[in-house]
Amino acid sequence: MIQEIKNLDDIAEFMHNLVDEGVNAHPDEDFRNYVSMETGEDTFTAEEAEFRNNLMDASFDICEKEGVDIYSFMHEIFLKDTGLDQYIPLPSQVEE
Segment 58-84, tens digit of pLDDT: 999 999 999 999 999 999 999 999 999
- Number of compact structural domains in the chain: 1
In a domain, 3, yes or no: no
| pLDDT score at 44 | 97
In a domain, 2, yes or no: no
pTM tops 0.85: yes
* Residues near 80 by beta carbon (within 8 Å), at least 6 away in sequence: 90
In a domain, 33, yes or no: yes
In a domain, 67, yes or no: yes
Q: Using CA atoms, how far apart are residues 31 and 88, in angstroms rounded to an integer?
A: 25
In a domain, 14, yes or no: yes
Host domain of residue 67: 8-93
